[in-house]
């Protein structure tokens, strides 16, 4: 079993540091939770709540992770 202790990592060693992520989620609570978790892990996060806003966000910048 692989166990990763993120609490001992410094911010520059965050698991997704430098990655841009687009979260597409229509549930505001789930979107906020995903955003917080990913930002705490070092990602640059954008959130879209529907198809149209996701397409608009993709037109501006393509993320590393969708």
pLDDT tens track for 23-54: 999 999 999 999 999 999 999 999 999 999 99
What is the model's pLDDT at position 14?
A: 74
- Output the pTM of the full model: 0.77
In percent, the amount of the chain with pLDDT more than 90 equals 76
Gap between the Cα atoms of 45 and 53, Å rounded:
14
Half-sphere exposure of residue 37: CA atoms within 13 angstroms, side-chain side: 7
Q: Which residue has the tokens 């806003």?
A: 53
Domain boundaries, the chain: 18-60
């Amino acid at each position: 079993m692989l166990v990763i202790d993120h609490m001992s990592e410094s911010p520059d060693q965050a698991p997704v540091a430098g990655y841009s992520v687009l979260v597409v989620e229509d549930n505001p609570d789930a979107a906020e939770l995903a955003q917080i978790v990913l930002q705490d892990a070092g990602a640059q996060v954008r959130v879209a709540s529907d198809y149209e806003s996701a397409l608009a966000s993709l037109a501006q910048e393509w993320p590393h992770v969708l």
